Amino acid sequence: MSAGATDRPIFRRIALIGLGLIAGSVAMAARASGSAGHIAGYAKSAETRAAVRDLGFCDSVHDSAAEAVAGADLVILAVPVGAMGEIAAAIGPHLGPGAIVTDVGSVKQEVIAAVAPHLPAQVHFIPGHPLAGTEHSGPRAGFASLFQNRWWLLTPLEGAEPAPTARLSAFVRSLGAQVEEMDAAHHDLVLSVTSHVPHLIAYTMVGVADHLKRVTESEVIKYSAAGFRDFTRIAASDPVMWRDVFLTNKEAVLDVLGRFTEELFVLQRAIRMGDAAQLQEYFTRTRAIRRGIIEAGQDTAAPDFGRSAALPEGAVKPSAKSDEG
């Protein structure tokens, strides 16, 4: 077993429902740390099941979700959020008492509404969301270090028992992640600001560059500010997953989008009117916000916030990183 491996698995038998990037990475990280005994898997597509049988990161691959969850003490729902309800209905009757069910969906309130009604009373439903991913999808995209130093958010339901949550947290940490708990509604709002609306903006900027035929796509890539270019890379993410995110986090996304476009129009008007003072005041204020965060130790000037170098979270490691102007 590798460094950080546990003496005894945290879960005797885990079931991965959905076998894409996240599930594959969970399986590989759990194998590396020894925190899961038997890893069972299920995917809707026969082609995916065949690929996973070849790849070998599951100990058993089943042709139905019901068979996959039989005897599992941890079930991880890793299907698109739009498919969660159907899957929950299929597995509900087959879950043992005391089993923990979690998910990895990017929105929480809608997943809870879709899944919770189908789960029996003695099952512990602890929704979750790993803040990790790449622009690739499918069973071949996963890798063991995906969750290293990444946040994995858990949104336990009201009245949830502490012990199952602690056990799930320990498992998530064994995959390399850092755990944070929060209320599901707060999760959806925070993520609309930090992830969902930025992804929408990335998609939109790529669309704008595409329409603006006088600027070629390769020029957009060549000359983009480094942060922006990395940012547009996320516009290459899975369209189905993102479609479901926006359909299921509609309220928070529309809230944030509305505020965003209001602010943008204030700035657009200032630009059109040549209002130098208003522009400078706005940029000065947002710079102060941004810098205040660095000084509070919540950020570092290092690229990727030093996480690639496995710094403790919040460590300040100022280093000059050259971006494009």
Shortest CB 212 distance to a second copy, Å: 6
Nearer to a second copy, 181 or 299 (CB): 299
Shortest CB 58 distance to a second copy, Å: 20
| Residue 246, φ and ψ in degrees, nearest 5 | -70, -30
Nearer to a second copy, 73 or 178 (CB): 178
Neighbours of 318 (CB within 10 A): 10
Shortest CB 154 distance to a second copy, Å: 13
Shortest CB 162 distance to a second copy, Å: 23
Nearer to a second copy, 59 or 255 (CB): 255
Distance CA 222, CA 324 (A): 10
State the residue for tokens 């005041």: 281
What's the sign of the alpha-carbon dihedral 267, 205, 299, 303?
A: negative
Shortest CB 33 distance to a second copy, Å: 17
Shortest CB 220 distance to a second copy, Å: 6
Nearer to a second copy, 160 or 205 (CB): 205
Nearer to a second copy, 150 or 167 (CB): 150
**CA atoms in the 13 A half-sphere facing the CB of 138:** 9
Q: Quick one: tokens of 21?
A: 């990037």
SS3 161: coil
SS3 183: coil
Shortest CB 205 distance to a second copy, Å: 7
Nearer to a second copy, 63 or 180 (CB): 180
State the residue for tokens 């740390």: 33
* Residues whose CB falls within 8 Å of the CB of residue 86, separated by 6 or more in sequence, listed in order: none
> Position 134: which residue type?
T
What's the sign of the alpha-carbon dihedral 285, 291, 297, 301?
A: positive
C-beta separation of 194 from 252 below 8 A: no
Nearer to a second copy, 31 or 62 (CB): 31
Q: Quick one: tokens of 262?
A: 């209001």
